[in-house]
């Protein structure tokens, strides 16, 4: 069976001033895949994730989404989008959840969730509102919909951010350490929502430090070290019998 | 000291105050309209786009307002093109010359205030716009400008008060604003202390009204900020 991957990254490189953070990373995500990306600080995992939708411009590499290669042109030392329309279109279909939530503080929770579908996708208001309320219900904050982000706890804000991402009906969702900015007692509620999404069969790429979560929900685990893929495979393989010495050391120190 | 002159001439002082308020209100509104595109151009990375606003802001912030008023009032009439243009009926009026000079001046300061506000918006909020696939225009309309509006308020209120005080310079080109009116009255009555104290008092009252208005708007606009807590997460 030869099915095209939903998202394919080929040989992604990234150099900051004179540090090569990513040294050629390739990855394929098929529909329904849940891929966890692990690694110590500075391994380049967040940078890699941010290169996928060009929040960070890669120095070299290719990004293929739904069989369509993102057009890149060199801009200084890096590659930038050659076709802004294509990039915005692609971004509309790839969700991104930030470590620091990044909700828009001047909008209520409901407005945050409605913003994308209502003003970017220009779907009818009523339909968008019903869907937004449904999503807020799903992440368990329906009762807070008229509050402003700063009135919520970190865990609640992150759940709103996830609802905001889901509202766009993305084909792939990227999570950039979604629980790293949370107090320990709030981590569970966010992971709970993400677990639900994984069970629904959503395609997700997750950069995380939550080892037991990664082991439990992932279909594939990638371990990055110093900008290269050091170990890759099923959770069982990576967690229980990794080939790489470094991966073993990392797991034994954190898990 | 004879404060009966204050009572006697108070209506005239109020007339002058009304002219001052007009000057400030008109030039602040026009200045804000000019300032917005200048601020947006100033933010650009491209030197061709940010070159002009850069020079504009540099000139109007770096030279005295009085010089700018004189340049417009005495300078413009030196050119035949100006005297023969259809704008001459406006340009020969000191009132409009003052408004033009004030507008240009305040727009330069306001543009810098706008730019500062837009650049003060946390990068994460901008990235949140990018990842939902907003275009630049959508980003400005939906998030950056509304956000900047809240950030800008305290500094902008300050600029309006500076403008009110600067508006006293209009009296140097024969305008009977509050200061001009006070000087005219003093020339007649020789009571500088009483009349200038009264004029100063009126300026204070106008300033207080501006401050009060801005405090209200700020409260409304920034209600969403609640208790602000800034978290600095580790970068992985």
Residue-range domains of chain B with CATH: 4-221 (1.10.3720.10)
Mutate to test the interface with A, among B129, B130, B131 (most CBs of A within 10 A): B131
Sign of CA dihedral B227, B232, B233, B236: positive
Nearest one of B133, B144, B142, B45 to A85, comparing CA atoms? B133
Q: Structure pTM?
A: 0.85
Instruction: Work out the average pLDDT over A107-124.
Output: 96
- Whether the ipTM is more than 0.85: the answer is yes
Burial of B155 (0-12, 13-18, 19+ CB in 10 A): middle
pLDDT at A84 (0 to 100): 93
Q: What is the pLDDT of residues A130-164, one digit of tens each?
A: 999 999 999 999 999 999 999 999 999 999 999 99
Instruction: Work out the average pLDDT over A188-204.
Output: 95
Cβ neighbours of residue B35 under 8 Å, at least 6 residues apart? Answer: B106, B107, B108, B110, B111, B113, B114
Residue A6: pLDDT band (50, 70, 90) is very high
**Residue numbers in A near B231 (CB within 8 A):** 100, 154, 181
Residue A33: pLDDT band (50, 70, 90) is very high
pLDDT at B221 (0 to 100): 79
Backbone dihedral region of A144: left (phi > 0), alpha (psi from -120 to 50 degrees) or beta?
Answer: alpha
Between CA B145 and CA A66 the distance in angstroms is: 34
Q: What are phi and psi of A174, to 5 degrees?
A: -105, 130
Nearest one of A4, A61, A50 to A31, comparing CA atoms? A4
- A104 has a chain B CB within 8 A of its CB: yes
Provide the angle, in degrees to the nearest 10, between the axes of the packed helices B192-221 and B178-189: 170
Cα torsion A167, A170, A175, A176 to 10°: value is: -90
Least CA distance to B231: which residue of chain A?
Answer: A181
Mean pLDDT by 10 residues, chain B (236 residues): 90 97 97 95 90 96 96 89 85 93 96 94 96 94 92 91 96 95 95 95 96 90 61 51
Between CA B148 and CA B15 the distance in angstroms is: 36
The answer to whether A26 and A63 have CB atoms below 8 angstroms apart is: no
pLDDT at B222 (0 to 100): 75
Residue A1 has pLDDT above 50, yes or no: no
Instruction: Work out the average pLDDT over A223-236.
Output: 93
Residue A211 has pLDDT above 50, yes or no: yes
Inter-chain contact B133–A177, Cβ cutoff 8 Å?
A: no
Instruction: Work out the average pLDDT over A189-211.
Output: 95
pLDDT at B228 (0 to 100): 45
pLDDT at B232 (0 to 100): 53
Between CA A33 and CA A50 the distance in angstroms is: 19
Q: Could you tell me the CA-to-CA distances from A29 to A8, A139, A141, B28 in Å, in that order? A: 6, 25, 30, 55
Burial of B88 (0-12, 13-18, 19+ CB in 10 A): middle
* Residue whose token pair is 């945050």: A112
Nearest one of A68, A120, A102, A66 to A181, comparing CA atoms? A102
Inter-chain contact B150–A116, Cβ cutoff 8 Å?
A: no
B177 versus A3: the higher-pLDDT residue is B177
**Residue numbers in A near B117 (CB within 8 A):** none
Instruction: Work out the average pLDDT over A24-32.
Output: 95
- B89 has a chain A CB within 8 A of its CB: no
**Angle B194-B197-B198 from CA coordinates, rounded to 5°:** 85
pLDDT at B209 (0 to 100): 96
Between CA B196 and CA B143 the distance in angstroms is: 46
Average pLDDT in chain A: 93
- End-to-end CA distance of chain B, in Å? 73
The answer to whether A235 and A214 have CB atoms below 8 angstroms apart is: yes
Q: Could you tell me the CA-to-CA distances from B50 to B39, B69, B115, B224 in Å, in that order? A: 9, 26, 12, 33
pLDDT at B85 (0 to 100): 85
Bridge partners (DSSP) of residue A205 are A35, A174
């Amino acid at each position: 069976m030869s099915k095209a991957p939903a998202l394919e990254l080929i040989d992604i490189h990234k150099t900051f001033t004179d540090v090569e953070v990513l040294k050629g990373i390739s990855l394929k995500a098929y529909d329904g895949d849940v891929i966890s990306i692990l690694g110590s600080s500075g391994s380049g995992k967040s940078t890699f994730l941010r290169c996928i939708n060009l929040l960070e411009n890669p120095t070299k590499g290719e990004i293929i989404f739904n069989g369509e290669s993102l057009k890149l042109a060199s801009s200084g030392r890096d590659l930038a989008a050659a076709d802004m329309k294509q990039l915005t279109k692609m971004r509309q279909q790839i969700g991104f959840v930030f470590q620091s939530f990044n909700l828009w503080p001047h909008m209520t929770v409901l407005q945050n969730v409605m913003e994308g579908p209502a003003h970017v996708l220009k779907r009818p208001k009523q339909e968008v509102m019903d869907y937004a309320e449904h999503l807020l219900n799903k992440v368990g904050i329906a009762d807070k919909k008229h509050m402003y982000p700063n009135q919520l706890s970190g865990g609640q804000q992150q759940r709103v951010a996830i609802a905001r991402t889901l509202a766009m009906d993305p084909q792939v969702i990227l999570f950039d350490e979604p629980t790293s900015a949370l107090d320990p007692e709030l981590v569970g509620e966010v992971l709970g929502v993400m677990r639900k999404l994984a069970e629904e069969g959503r395609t997700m790429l997750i950069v995380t430090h939550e080892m037991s979560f990664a082991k439990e929900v992932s279909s594939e685990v990638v371990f990055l070290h110093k900008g290269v893929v050091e170990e890759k495979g099923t959770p069982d393989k990576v967690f229980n019998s990794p080939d790489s010495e470094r991966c073993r050391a990392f797991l034994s120190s954190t898990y | 000291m004879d404060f009966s002159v204050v009572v006697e001439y108070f209506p005239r002082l109020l007339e002058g105050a009304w002219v001052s308020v007009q000057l400030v209100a008109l030039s602040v509104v026009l200045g804000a309209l000019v300032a917005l595109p200048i601020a947006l151009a100033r933010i650009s990375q491209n030197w061709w786009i940010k070159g002009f606003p850069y020079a504009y802001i540099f000139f109007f912030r770096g030279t005295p307002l009085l010089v700018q008023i004189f340049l417009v009032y005495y300078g413009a009439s030196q050119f035949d093109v100006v005297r023969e243009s259809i704008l001459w009926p406006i340009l020969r009026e000191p009132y409009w010359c003052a408004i033009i000079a004030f507008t240009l001046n305040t727009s330069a300061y306001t543009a810098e205030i706008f730019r500062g506000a837009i650049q003060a918006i946390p990068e994460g909020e901008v990235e949140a716009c990018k990842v939902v696939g907003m275009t630049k225009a959508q980003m400005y309309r939906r998030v950056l400008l509304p956000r900047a509006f809240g950030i800008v308020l305290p500094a902008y209120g300050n600029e309006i008060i500076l403008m009110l005080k600067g508006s006293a310079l209009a009296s140097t080109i024969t305008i009977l604003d509050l200061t001009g009116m006070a000087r005219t009255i003093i020339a007649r009555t020789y009571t500088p202390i009483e009349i200038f104290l009264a004029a100063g008092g009126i300026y204070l009252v106008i300033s207080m009204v501006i401050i009060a208005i801005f405090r209200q708007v700020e409260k409304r606009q920034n209600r969403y900020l609640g208790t602000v807590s800034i978290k600095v997460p580790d970068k992985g």
